[in-house]
Structure 1
Amino acid sequence: MGMNKAARTEWWESLPAGIRDEIDGYILEDSLLGAVRVIVAIGLVPHGIGVGTAQLIANDRYLHYGDRIAREPESPLDLESLAYRAAGCGGRIVAIEAIWDGDTVHDWFVRLLAITADPAGEAHMATVYWSTAKRYLGEDEDGDPRRPVAVAAERAGRALAEYLSVPFHFASPDTPDDEAPRWQP
């Protein structure tokens, strides 16, 4: 049994200012999970507000704040920006690698890494979310059955690897797999 918009608004306005500020703090930093957790914690027992209704209440707050919400900035995928970032790596770059990752906010995404030697390690080059991929690819991804994040990461990663004259490695370009084998020298 969900609450309609008017009931949600009435419930919201009945909250103490401190609680509203706490929830809005989570919303303004784009932490849906944090906001929902607080709403359920204070609303479940006295008002029967479960996760579904809490998400609707949080969504109302997202709509209220709109563009004022701090979104995570998107990584640049153009070769010039990636090459500039690679130039700042500590160590000699021996490969560019694309690896799958995922979370509850972004679903699957791909991280581009520069693998280094002397000292051995890895440096973050870019994170390719769905929105990043769509911006980078534009209309270019038509006809490719793979996820746009994989297509964009492979295109940007391969271009950087070619520019640096090092191998490019993407163990699972067709299917999200955060346990795919990593690059080995």
Structure 2
Amino acid sequence: MMNKRARTQWWDGLPAGIRNQIDGYVLQDSLMAAIGVVTDIGLVPDGIGVGTAQAIVSDRYAHHGDRIARAPDTPLDQESLIRRVGGISGDVVAIEAVWDGDTVHDWFVRLLAITADPAEKNALAVIHWSLAERHLGEGAKLAGRHPVAVAAERAGGDLAAHLSVPFHFASPDTPDDEAPRRQP
């Protein structure tokens, strides 16, 4: 992989149009699109693979900092979740927390409202690490647990209790996107 100096020299050698395209994706917080452009233009002539492309794009994220238009977090406060449930057609029969993950956000949890008629899984919130930390507050007692799991349990458990329905989280202590799902 290229060191920082080599990445900077490679970046400075790009035509302005390509630099603008990559920075445009970065400013829109489109990480995968930016990495795709870097590998598309750098793989054959310069041997730039995905790992180096991620480092180059990471440099651009650091360069732009607060100028990046981040997608807003979904709300986890009880009032907002109750309002979201109110917009679901059908009776909610359970609230479920499900692990998911990707290369951008690492592990996160999807909070779902399950309905029976129609049988659907309705997305209520996506809980990433940063949202979990803000929701739980500074100095939250986690007992060594993943903050995403703790936030999901609290928000989902409280919502389920408010709705008088069960709350299901198959793997609250270990990220597992193949954990058993709630069965009707």
Give the alignment's TM-score, normalised by structure 2: 0.89
Q: State the SS of the aligned residue for 1:111.
A: strand
Tell me the alpha carbon deviations over residues 11-44 of structure 1, each in whole angstroms, 9 at most, x when there is no partner: 3333222211221122112233332332233234
The amino acid across from 1:141 in the alignment is A
In 2, Cα distance between the equivalents of 1:151 and 1:89?
A: 25
Which residue identity lines up with residue 2 of structure 1 in the other structure?
M
d(CA) in 2 for partners of 1:50, 1:172: 34
Q: Residue 2 of structure 2 aligns to which amino acid in structure 1?
A: G
> Is 1:122 aligned with 2:118?
no
The 1:14–1:182 alpha-carbon spacing in structure 2 relative to 1, beyond 3 Å, is same
5+ long unaligned stretches in structure 2: none
Distance 1:8 1:169 in 2: 46
Give me the whole-angstrom Cα distance separating, in 1, the residues matched to 2:171 and 2:4: 44
Describe how 1:1-185 pairs up with structure 2 within 5 A.
2-5=2-5, 7-139=6-138, 141-185=140-184
Mapped partners of 2:49, 2:103: distance in 1: 19
% identity of equivalent residues = 67
Structure 2 distance, partners of 1:17, 1:65, is: 16
1:75-130 deviation per Cα after TM superposition (whole angstroms, max 9, x unaligned): 11111110011111111101101111111111111110000122111111111111
Matched to 2:82, the amino acid is: A
Secondary structure of the corresponding residue to residue 99 of structure 1: strand
Cα deviation code 1:127-149 (max 9, x no counterpart) = 11111110011135324222110
Unaligned segments of structure 1, at least 5 residues: none
Give the TM-score taking structure 1 as reference length.
Answer: 0.88
1:51 offset after TM fit, Å? 4.0
Between the aligned partners of 1:52 and 1:176, the Cα distance in structure 2 is 24
Distance 2:77 2:108 in 1: 18
Aligned Cα root-mean-square deviation (Å): 2.0
Q: Which moved more, 1:16-25 or 1:136-145?
A: 136-145
More deviation, 81-90/132-141: 132-141
Structure 1 SS opposite 2:174: coil
